[in-house]
């Protein structure tokens, strides 16, 4: 326990780190929810567009016949929405990677916080034991130690 190279955190610092990790995790969850909402909106619009195209084809078939359908199909073939779709997919992919990176960072920070908290608990237990041994060695009664409230995050 006498390793001076190990950084020591106070309980308030460890608690603050835990709260920061919790806040970042909540932010990541909100970002994830927003990403799923964007995906759902995109899929809804895509389905709506497909339905409109089907309806338009049926209307044209009923009114003008095959030549009008060919003209519409040629127009749709000439139109190229793939660049926009690729851009949107790339943006969603970038957001996905960003959220995965944030989640990974949060998990690492959580592990560090848990290790620091465990270290603080061990330091406290060691100090308590050392104090009890010193009291016993000097023949003094061991005063009743106050219980320190613990955090159930581990």
Considering the chain, what percentage of its residues have pLDDT values greater than 90?
Answer: 34
Confidence band for 3, pLDDT divided at 50, 70 and 90:
low
Cα gap 52→57, rounded to integer Å:
9
Cα gap 14→12, rounded to integer Å:
5
In the chain, the number of structural domains is 1
Residue 60 pLDDT: 65
pLDDT in tens, 38-84: 999 998 999 999 999 888 877 766 665 667 777 777 777 777 677 77
Copy the structure tokens of residue 61.
């078939």
In a domain, 36, yes or no: yes
Residue 152 pLDDT: 53
Cα gap 77→104, rounded to integer Å:
43
Mean per-residue pLDDT, 119-147: 82
In a domain, 116, yes or no: no
- Give me the domain span that covers residue 74: 11-111
């Amino acid at each position: 326990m006498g390793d001076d190279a190990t950084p020591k955190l106070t309980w308030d610092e460890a608690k603050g780190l835990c709260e920061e990790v919790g806040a970042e995790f909540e932010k990541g969850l909100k970002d994830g929810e927003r990403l799923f909402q964007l995906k759902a909106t995109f899929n809804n619009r895509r389905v709506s567009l497909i339905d409109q195209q089907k309806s338009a084809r049926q209307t044209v078939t009923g009114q003008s016949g095959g030549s009008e359908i060919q003209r519409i199909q040629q127009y749709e073939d000439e139109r190229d929405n793939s660049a926009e779709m690729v851009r949107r997919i790339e943006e969603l992919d970038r957001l996905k990677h960003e959220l995965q990176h944030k989640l990974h960072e949060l998990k690492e920070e959580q592990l560090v916080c848990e290790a620091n908290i465990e270290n603080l608990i061990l330091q406290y237990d060691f100090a308590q034991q050392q104090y009890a041994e010193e009291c016993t060695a000097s023949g003094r009664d061991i005063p009743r130690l106050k219980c320190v409230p613990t955090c159930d995050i581990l």
